[in-house]
Amino acid sequence: MTQQRRTALITGAGRNIGRAVALGLAQDGLNVVVNGSSNRAACEAVANAARAFGVEAAVVMGDVGSEAECSRIAAEATARFGAVDVLVNNAALRPAKPFLEMTEAEWRRVMSVDLDAAVWLSRACLPGMVARGWGRIVNFTGMNAMHGYAGRAPVSVAKHGVWGLTKALGKEFGPKGITVNAVSPGPIAADDADAQAVPADYRAAAVAKVPLGREGTPAEVAAVARMLVSDAGAYVNAQMLQVNGGAQT
List domains and CATH numbers for the chain. 7-243 (3.40.50.720)
Burial class (CB in 10 A: 0-12, 13-18, 19+), 68: exposed
State the pLDDT at residue 59: 98
* Average pLDDT of the segment spanning 36-61: 98
State the pLDDT at residue 197: 57
Residues 34 and 200: their CA atoms lie apart, in Å, by 30
Residue-level length of the chain? 249
State the pLDDT at residue 122: 98
Burial class (CB in 10 A: 0-12, 13-18, 19+), 83: buried
State the pLDDT at residue 3: 46
Lowest mean pLDDT, pick from 63-72, 114-123, 193-202, 212-221: 193-202
Whole-number Cα distances in Å, 202 to 125, 176, 209, 216 = 37, 43, 11, 15
State the pLDDT at residue 192: 59
pLDDT of 2 > 50? The answer is: no
* Average pLDDT of the segment spanning 107-132: 98
* pTM, 2 dp: 0.95
Using DSSP, state whether 89 is helix, strand or coil: strand
User: What percent of the chain stands above pLDDT 90?
Assistant: 86
State the pLDDT at residue 149: 84
- 65-118 pLDDT, tens digit each: 999 999 999 999 999 999 999 999 999 999 999 999 999 999 999 999 999 999
pLDDT of 51 > 80? The answer is: yes
- Listed residue (3, 6, 46, 4) closest to 22, CA to CA: 46
State the pLDDT at residue 97: 95
* Average pLDDT of the segment spanning 114-141: 98
Position 221: which residue type? V
Quote the mean pLDDT of the chain: 94
State the pLDDT at residue 205: 84
Q: How many CB atoms lie within 10 A of CB 21?
A: 32
Residues 173 and 177: their CA atoms lie apart, in Å, by 7
